[in-house]
Structure 1
């Protein structure tokens, strides 16, 4: 897949959000009330005046009770037993914000309990963020290249090098910053408890958990 085609998804997110809202007959104010994202921010996203982070996009989709794949990949499939998805190298759907570049995998399947991402970390300091990132569920991060300073709400910052990983409660505020010369790259797998609302996942969580595993 060409670079220009891969990047086209970045510009389509705002248009798809606007199209979905128009089809449902919802105003920006109504979407804001359901998602907690300001109407002015929603308008800027829809008109491609600002880029949207995964965390903001997930917040919007959760508030509207739609799969994130509805916006990232309109050709996605709903849940079915025995489903499978293969994403070839450099063929993930790409979008970005000022802190991260996201390459999303398995976007043809919706209502996934795990959301896999390859992320390039552009942020260099916590000042590059307006606020903590946070979303329901748990998250696993594995550093592929470079070094990352991992910040979290209830723990001291920790440096992660290639091969190191961290598993944490993602409702706890968190952010990643590159501390290597080149932007770091990492795998992020987010567990989404909303994927199957009928399942009782409360037993799997304790607030603010974090585990770091060092590379040998």
Structure 2
């Protein structure tokens, strides 16, 4: 059995915590599973599985979920947070993040207690493409910046040739174009990703009030 360092939460426990947080927000908003599904564009079964801790969503889908609930993405990871306001400064120390793992990626969500940010910054750990399982490209509203912290990374883009990036190199693109990342060699890779949010005015207005 894998041993976890003290204080490190197992993936199943993280999924359960996310499910509890989703259910809490949904109940606070007075929404049914069907209403959240309709507002977010996700299947009712998908929302239900997330609430029950049976599924971890990719970035594009948990962004849809946040938009459907009318909250900032960070609010799904932290029960208590404050809006980022003009003139404010925030610092993230080493190890200060919320870990979100999917079948393919491990995201370290930075500044989870800072809501209504214009950008969503994340550190990520990648595996080689051969060890990952994809059934579709990821795509979502907004723009995206990726910087290779360590290793080599292949960025696969819908309807374009793959782009290989070495350590210290970066790419900036429209997140609405289908994309996925993988380590380019047999070793893993570390990346910094920053996404902007492109949600609608109604969701922005609700998120500002949350």
Asked if structure 2 preserves the Cα contact closer than 8 Å seen for 1:111 and 1:195, the reply is no
Q: Confirm or deny that 1:4 pairs with 2:16.
A: no
Q: Which shifted more, 73-82 or 32-41?
A: 73-82
CA distance in structure 1 between the partners assigned to 2:167 and 2:7 by the alignment: 26
Q: Confirm or deny that 1:20 pairs with 2:25.
A: yes
CA distance in structure 2 between the partners assigned to 1:149 and 1:104 by the alignment: 22
Q: Any unmatched runs of 5+ in structure 2? A: 206-210
After superposition, the C-alpha distances for 1:114-160 in whole angstroms (9 at most, x for unaligned) are 11100112361597222211111100000111221111113111111
**Residue matched to 1:36:** 41
**Residue matched to 2:177:** 172
Asked if structure 1 preserves the Cα contact closer than 8 Å seen for 2:144 and 2:173, the reply is yes
Q: Any unmatched runs of 5+ in structure 1? A: 199-216
Distance of aligned partners of 1:30 and 1:152 in 2 relative to their CA distance in 1, 3 Å threshold: same
Counterparts of residues 88-99 of structure 1 (less than 5 Å) = 88-99=93-104
Query: How many residues were matched structurally?
Result: 198
CA distance in structure 1 between the partners assigned to 2:159 and 2:67 by the alignment: 25
After superposition, the C-alpha distances for 1:24-58 in whole angstroms (9 at most, x for unaligned) are 23221111111111111111111111222222111
**Residue matched to 1:120:** 125
Q: Confirm or deny that 1:184 pairs with 2:193.
A: no
The partner residue of 2:78 within 51, 70, 73 is 73
Distance of aligned partners of 1:125 and 1:172 in 2 relative to their CA distance in 1, 3 Å threshold: farther
Q: Secondary structure at the match of 2:161?
A: strand
Q: Secondary structure at the match of 1:57?
A: helix
